Amino acid sequence: AMIAIGALSLEDAYRAISFDTITLLLGMMIVVAHLKVSGAFRALGAVAIEHAHAPFMLLVMVTLLTGVLSAFLVNDAICLVMAPIVVHVTRVINRNPVPYLIATATASNCGSVATITGNPQNMVIGALSGISYPAFSAALAPVALFGLVAVVVIVRIVYRAEFARKVELSPEVYRGRMLPGQVLKAVVVCIGLAIAFFAGVPVAKAALIGGAILLVTRAIKPARIYREIDGPLLFMFAGLFIVVAGAEKTLLTPDIIASAKNLGLDDVWRLSGFTAVLSNIMSNVPAVLALRPFIPGLE
């Protein structure tokens, strides 16, 4: 549409797309898909949860596992993997699943704050700002940790009846079919990716190479991995970059961009509050892209 109305040329639209973001998201989708299909997530969840012998410890394990996984892998996928495990476990041990599912959802959001690869909006921010993976994590990992602690405390208070009585639990998790060789391969690749990210290797390149390595196997048909890739999401991201570039070129005059500072958005607390409200209105990634033209003028 932006090309049709003359807001952007075809070349401008192409240049507007952050291919680093698209590539990083694609690479991480492949890694997460392999972990899911190989049974690695189920196995890890089973080992962690089966060591929880009291309701409060189960809450802590669910929160910690979800938060840590979401810090390095895309948080939406972690929620999709963890939620069925939590529901299964709570049914087996006859507990209320709601507190643990709320912990899963909130811990996923909190944990994903810690790194560039934790969620799509972090990927966009990382690609647009050029901030390094270690610098991003050094600034936000403490925030993520505080958030995880807050999740445990708040859920414990709100659902105090669930954790009031001392109950001995023996949760057993159905592991399903697992491919040990592929699980080991995926774990090695994930460790390698973490090292590469913190060593300063471009995250998009590292993620795509990691995903490509995992696709080289006879044990898992590539089609099973491809089915887990959210193609429409990748196209949506590309479209958002183009729409924002078109709006920036045709609608955002220097005076409009300067008005952000006049509204007091150069104050970090006001900017944070405004971003939180905007993200709840139009979703996280569109909010980040909408604010992008205004950020340089706030420095």
Assess contact for 32 and 118: CB atoms under 8 A.
no
CA distance 65 to 151: 13
User: In 10 A of CB 97, how many CB atoms?
Assistant: 15
CA distance 169 to 62: 14
pLDDT reported for residue 136: 93
pLDDT reported for residue 66: 93
End-to-end Cα spacing for the chain: 33
Residue owning tokens 């429409």? 232
Provide the residue type at 103 as one letter: A
CA distances in angstroms from 208 to 56, 83, 196, 213, listed in the order given: 39, 27, 12, 9
Residue owning tokens 């075809």? 10
pLDDT reported for residue 195: 93
Axis-axis angle for helices 40-49, 19-38 (nearest 10): 70
Full DSSP string of 232-274? HHHHHHHHHHHHHHHHHHHT--HHHHHHHHHTTTTSHHHHHHH
DSSP state of 165: S
Assess contact for 122 and 116: CB atoms under 8 A.
yes
> Hey, is 2 helix, strand or coil?
coil
pLDDT reported for residue 281: 82
CA distances in angstroms from 57 to 17, 53, 61, listed in the order given: 45, 7, 6
pLDDT reported for residue 127: 83
CA distance 261 to 201: 35
CA distances in angstroms from 203 to 61, 132, 187, 191, listed in the order given: 29, 9, 18, 14
Q: Where are the domains of the chain?
A: 20-230
pLDDT reported for residue 98: 94
- Nearest residue to 77 via CA among 61, 66, 63, 87: 66
Q: By CB neighbour count within 10 A (0-12 exposed, 13-18 middle, 19+ buried), where does 51 fall?
A: exposed
Averages of pLDDT over each 10 residues, the chain, 299 residues: 71 83 89 86 73 82 92 86 84 86 94 91 86 92 95 94 71 65 88 90 90 87 86 86 79 67 75 85 81 72
Axis-axis angle for helices 231-250, 284-291 (nearest 10): 30
Full DSSP string of 182-234? HHHHHHHHHHHHHHHHHHT--HHHHHHHHHHHHH--SSS-HHHHHHHS-HHHH
